[in-house]
Amino acid sequence: MLRYLSQLRWIWWHLLSISFLVGFGLLGRWQWQARTRLNTEDGTAVVDWQNTFYAIQWWLFAAFVVWFWWKFLFDGYNLENKKDESEISNN
């Protein structure tokens, strides 16, 4: 499996997935930090629930990237193995 994952055609998918994962993670962290705002009446911090759920949404997008990356590679690996097995059985 490691040899399959280190092929040149998959390196670009790895880099693209990592960049999306980092980007979505950073956007989620930024949104999480922006979720508190200062109440003008009494000066207390108030949690903005909309920003909180947006932060969670960004992290769910990052989780989807991981799932899609795994599913895409696993399906490609299985398809290639089945193709190799059918070639062996046909000979």
Is residue 48 in some structural domain? Answer: yes
- Whole-prediction pTM value? 0.73
Count of CB atoms situated within 10 Å of the CB of 31 = 20
pLDDT confidence of residue 85: 65
Is residue 43 in some structural domain? Answer: yes
pLDDT confidence of residue 51: 92
pLDDT confidence of residue 43: 80
Using the Cα atoms of residue 72, residue 73, residue 76 and residue 77 in order, give the sign of their dihedral. Answer: negative
Is residue 38 in some structural domain? Answer: yes
Number of independent structural domains in the chain: 1
Give the phi and the psi of residue 38 in degrees, each rounded to 5: -90, 125
Mean pLDDT in each 10-residue stretch from start to end of the chain (91 residues)?
72 92 97 86 87 96 95 83 67 57
What is the domain extent for residue 54? 27-63
Is residue 69 in some structural domain? Answer: no
Q: Which residues of 62-79 are buried (b: 16+ CB within 10 A; e: fewer)?
A: beebeeebeeebeebeee
Is residue 88 in some structural domain? Answer: no
Cα–Cα distances (Å) from 12 to 7, 29, 33, in that order, read 10, 26, 31
